[in-house]
């Protein structure tokens, strides 16, 4: 029940009144390391240089699907590269044909506007209407 300190004269021991915070600090440091390692993994893994805008961020409770277009024009569904002709089929399999599911369309700033609109039009013609274009906030320099 805690460390006891012996008093020299009476032979009785009294309880130690200090709290040992070392285990608490150890646990907090382990949690900090875990969160630092896992936080970057929560984002979509396709490397895309997003354009910057002053638009407000979208808040949603349901995890959206991410469609990404990299600098070479390759299309990715989440982290998996897909053929443009097979994109809608894979979207329907993942979403269970839930056409109200929010889709985040991420495109590298060097990608041709026509390519972005082609992907967006393909998703829209398949019935997906909740498509949001993802950008970065303007950095303060």
Structure confidence by residue, pLDDT tens digits, 80-137:
889 988 888 888 888 888 888 888 888 888 888 888 899 999 998 888 888 888 877 7
Q: Please report the pLDDT score of residue 132 as a whole number.
A: 85
Confidence at residue 23, expressed as pLDDT on a 0 to 100 scale: 86
The C-alpha R_g of the chain, in whole angstroms, comes to 26
What the block records as the tokens of 101 is 């599911």
Looking at residue 8, its pLDDT comes to 53
Q: Whole-angstrom Cα distance, residue 135 to residue 111?
A: 13
HEC secondary structure over 82-110: ECHHHHHHHHHHHHCCCCCCCEEEEECCC
Backbone angles phi, psi at 75, to 5 degrees: -105, 135
Tokens matching residue 7: 């008093």
Domain 52-137 has CATH 3.20.20.120: no
Mean pLDDT across 65-87? 89
Q: How confident is the model at residue 140 (pLDDT cuts 50, 70, 90)?
A: low
Residue 39 — pLDDT band, cuts 50, 70, 90?
A: low
Q: How far apart are CA 45 and CA 75, in angstroms?
A: 13
State the pLDDT at residue 58. 62
Structure confidence by residue, pLDDT tens digits, 11-37: 677 777 777 888 888 999 998 888 777
Sequence spans of domains, the chain: 4-42, 52-137
Find tokens 């277009």 and name the residue. 69
The pLDDT of residue 7 is above 70: no
């Amino acid at each position: 029940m805690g460390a006891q300190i012996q008093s020299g004269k009476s032979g009785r021991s009294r309880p130690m009144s200090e709290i040992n915070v070392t285990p608490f600090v150890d646990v907090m440091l382990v949690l900090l390391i875990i969160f630092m390692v896992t936080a970057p993994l929560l984002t979509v893994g396709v490397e895309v240089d997003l354009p910057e805008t002053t638009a407000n961020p979208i808040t949603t409770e349901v995890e959206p699907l991410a469609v990404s277009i990299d600098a070479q024009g390759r299309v990715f569904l989440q982290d998996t590269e897909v053929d443009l002709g097979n994109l809608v089929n894979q979207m329907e399999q993942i979403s269970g044909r839930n056409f109200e599911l929010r889709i985040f369309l991420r495109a590298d700033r060097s990608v041709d506007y026509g390519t972005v609109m082609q992907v967006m039009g393909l998703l829209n013609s398949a019935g997906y209407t909740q498509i949001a274009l993802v950008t970065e906030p303007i950095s303060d320099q």
